[in-house]
Amino acid sequence: MSRYLLTRVGTLLLSLVLASVVVFAVLRFLPGDSAGTSLGVGTTSDQLEQLRADLGTDQPLWTQYGQWVAGLFSGSAGTSFVSRLPVGELIASKLPITLPLSLAAFVVSVLVSVPLGVVAAVRRRGVVGVTVSAVSQLGVAVPVFWVGVILVWIFALEAGVLPPGGFPRQGWEDPAAAVRSLVLPVATVAIAMSSVMVRYVRSATLDVLDQDYVRTARSLGYGRWHALARHGLRNGAVPVVAILGIELATSLLGAVVVENVFALPGLGTLLVSSVEGRDLPVVQALVLGLTALVLVTNFLVDLAQRGIDPRLRAGSALGGAR
């Protein structure tokens, strides 16, 4: 286990280094000039050169990359080209919106999709199972922003029970208003995630139902649900944990997209405005942070799967013995 853990940690660190190089290089080779965007039309060449020197974009790329990485190790992601504020402060000011949205959507999607996926598998030949499968397929096909638009039309414009967008100026000082403003965004992300997760849970449950140990339990007098709960949940949890980990990471990505639909001043709005303004320190910090979240989540999912399924631990032990 220790050898496997060291290998996975080394792979994770190498992936993070490669991700930082790719993010930095891609942003630097995109068309446009951060200094020119900041100063606008009518800027003289002397003004551009002075601003480039102030921003540090006139230095060689390897020097810029080294300074950025050194700053990350010291706990600083740099300073925004546009607002001149520390990037860490800008990101931290948006987290009280994005994190509750992302985590609430993930929790709701798990509570909805896991039981629905199991029911869709157990009742796969019945009306309930077919209906759940069809609705989940439709949810996968519809883009997430269209889900948001439909929910706004139904609950905000027609029913008038929820706000169509925005976030209260006082933030979480008014919890009721803050929660109401996040209901539709959370529902939008949760519907998109649940549509995917239902299909994975259904597939994992079907695989378990076809196993010999479930058939044996049924032959000994166990009911279908009892046999599944007693002998199938742990085996079916291995692939489900993998998709749950992926969905946990992508819930933040979905929140970033949905924030722009509902005009929420979170990380998604910050990312879009920073891309438009060529605010490279903010963009590269956000993109690298999201990439790191996905990589770390996959790493934790691998460890969780090995903890659930002893066959994975046995397999790696035999591989190390050879």
For 13-27, how does the pLDDT look when each residue is reduced to its tens digit (9 = 90+)?
999 999 999 988 888
The pLDDT value given to residue 48: 57
Q: Using the 8-state DSSP alphabet, how is residue 173 labeled?
A: G
Check residue 83 and give its pLDDT. 81
CATH fold of 94-272: MetI-like fold (1.10.3720)
pLDDT of residue 109 exceeding 80: yes
As a three-state string, the secondary structure of 122-168 is HCCCCHHHHHHHHHHHHHHHCCHHHHHHHHHHHHHHHCCCCCCCCCC
Quick one: pLDDT at residue 37?
Answer: 56
pLDDT at 216: 66
More confident residue, 233 or 255: 255
Instruction: Tell me what pLDDT residue 133 has.
Output: 87
User: Does residue 41 surpass a pLDDT of 60?
Assistant: no
Look at residue 104 in the predicted model and tell me its pLDDT: 92
* Percent of the chain with pLDDT strictly greater than 90: 12
Can you state the percent helix, strand and coil of the chain, rounding each to 5?
80, 0, 20
Say if residue 170's pLDDT is above 80. yes
pTM tops 0.95, yes or no: no
Report the pLDDT value the prediction gives residue 318, as an integer from 0 to 100. Answer: 45
Q: Which residue is it, tokens 């280094």?
A: 17
- Please say if the pLDDT value at position 130 is more than 70: yes
pLDDT in tens, 69-93: 888 888 888 888 778 888 888 999 8
User: Are 190 and 109 within 8 A, CB to CB?
Assistant: yes
Mean pLDDT of 23-48: 65
Tokens coding 133: 């499968």
Extents of the domains making up the chain: 94-272
Query: pLDDT digit string (tens) for 189-239?
Result: 999 888 888 888 888 777 776 666 666 666 666 666 566 666 556 666 666
174 Rama class: left (phi>0) / alpha (psi -120 to 50) / beta: beta
Q: What is the overall mean pLDDT for the chain?
A: 80
Whether the per-residue pLDDT at 35 is higher than 60: the answer is no
Q: What is the 3-state secondary structure (H, E, C) of 206-240?
A: HHHHCCHHHHHHHHCCCCHHHHHHHHHHHHHHHHH
The token duo for 10 is: 């080394």
**pLDDT of 151:** 92
